Amino acid sequence: MQNNLKIISWNVNGIRAIAKKGFYEILKDLDPDILCIQETKAQDEDVLKIAEEISGYQTTVNSAQKKGYSGTAVFSKQKPLNQNLDIGINEHDEEGRVITLEYEFFNLVNVYVPNSGSELKRLDYREQWDKDLLSYIKNLDNKKPVIFTGDLNVAHEPIDLARPKENYNKSAGYTQVEIDGMKNILNAGMIDTFRYFHKDKIRYTFWNARFKSRERNVGWRIDYFIVSQNIIEKVKDAYILDQIIGSDHCPIGIELKF
């Protein structure tokens, strides 16, 4: 693997839709070594068809059984040593939410965490998901450092959303259950890279499209790059590309040097 590495993560809110909104040009401009995609809303063959238009990348796809829902993909310039789909628990493994790729120096985990839903109908499931995902991450971390990225569907601190008081324990993504799930990840020795570099910066990665939230910057930071403590010194920068449009989320990135 090359000395310098750029990884970009983006919830595209439908890969077929974003392919019509400048996706190829954005990818060319960003030129990541690895691109992690969440919420493809497509089946494997749909994603692979789009991948045919992108030269120089290996493609790994994990689609939900339900058509037009969830789904993840990774485009990588370097072929991984190994790849694994899902986390090995049946109740979690039908929605195409996790891709793990092993590289020389780290395991990369691309995740689209379940939303707790309107009226928090799925919050109990989400709580179990968070516990099982953490167990999976910790097991990987025992073997090789982990870079863990994606739409984690939680704002961790009040600084991570525009209206914390109005949303606390009322809105999916900012309940104490979800906040505790994130705290457990960080307490297990993982580091939120954006906060590592930008302790007090207010930046968001998601804006609800229904309320013109982006124009008013009423947003949430729910997309992350989280890394093992024993690889943080290799991370040289972490950033949010909130000037890039095309989805209700914007891309995020990290750069590493080995």
Burial code of 135-170, b = ≥16 C-beta within 10 A, e = fewer? Answer: ebbeebbeebbbbbbbbbbbbbeeebbbeeeebeee
The angle that helices 176-187 and 123-141 make with each other, rounded to 10 degrees, is 10
Selecting among 46, 130, 151, 242, the annotated active-site residue is 151
Calpha distance 127→180 (Å, rounded): 9
Going by C-alpha positions, the residue among 149, 137, 104 that lies closest to residue 8 is: 149
**CB neighbourhood size of 213 (10 A):** 17
Q: Is 151 noted as a catalytic residue in this protein?
A: yes
CB distance 159 to 174 below 8 Å? no
What residues contact residue 208 under an 8 Å CB cut-off, 6+ apart?
A: 218, 248
Residue 17, SS3 per DSSP: helix
The DSSP bridge partners found for residue 83 are: 101
Q: Is 112 noted as a catalytic residue in this protein?
A: yes
The DSSP bridge partners found for residue 127 are: none
Selecting among 103, 112, 204, 239, the annotated active-site residue is 112
Q: Is the alpha carbon torsion for 151, 202, 155, 144 positive or negative?
A: positive
Tell me which residues are annotated as active site.
112, 151
